[in-house]
Chains A and B, each alone.
Chain A
Amino acid sequence: DTEVTQTPKHLVMGMTNKKSLKCEQHMGHRAMYWYKQKAKKPPELMFVYSYEKLSINESVPSRFSPECPNSSLLNLHLHALQPEDSALYLCASSQVGTGNSPLHFGNGTRLTVT
């Protein structure tokens, strides 16, 4: 069983919809991440939160809006997405340290934009 829980597992949304992806971890990690993974490609970093503050934004379009309400929760708010945004969205968490802390991934939300 994964220790990082993502909901929903699947999401289909139209280009005018607003939806949110949710991620939860209870490992006491203070760094949380959103990655986007297209089919047959490696994960690409989108956002990093450290101690509930946004520390990295990889020039992600504003139609993706992250939120970290507390140390256990991470949300990704979606609005006016494009079909090319269809992908597997992975959440991860880790300790904040010297760079050798492994990331723990959830099983992802498979998003389809119609």
Chain B
Amino acid sequence: AQSVTQLGSHVSVSEGALVLLRCNYSSSVPPYLFWYVQYPNQGLQLLLKYTSAATLVKGINGFEAEFKKSETSFHLTKPSAHMSDAAEYFCAVSVRRGAQKLVFGQGTRLTINP
């Protein structure tokens, strides 16, 4: 069965520091992978997606993620954290084609220290 595992339920970084949020996937077929962000009292917003066109994917708000098949990873990074990046981040894998079934990781709460 396809699944994702996010390592670290809580990550704290200083403003201006590198952000690294880890996601590993399990899939028997080439996966479609997504990163979503959720701000307090809001829905989920797509940051970026991997669909096999390129292994390095650039998203919104300066985030990017690299698909590494050998490591079954899809980690999310941002070179310089901003206070507005504080939120909950979810990695997700699509496990069904068509009207898809999206399965989420447990989430990582990102805190930015001034």
Contacts and interface: CB of A to CB of B under 8 A. Distances in A.
Interface of A: 2, 4, 6, 31, 40-43, 45, 48-50, 55-56, 90, 92, 94, 96-108, 110
Contact of A100 (B51, B104, B105, B106): B51
B98 A50 contact: yes
Given A105-B44, A105-B45, A106-B43, A98 B101 contact: no
Nearest to A45: B101
A102 B98 contact: no
B49 interface: yes
A102 B36 CA distance: 10
Given A100-B49, A102-B34, A42 B105 contact: yes
B106 A42 contact: yes
A105 B43 contact: yes
B43 A94 contact: no
B74 interface: no
Interface string B37-63: 000011111100101000000000000
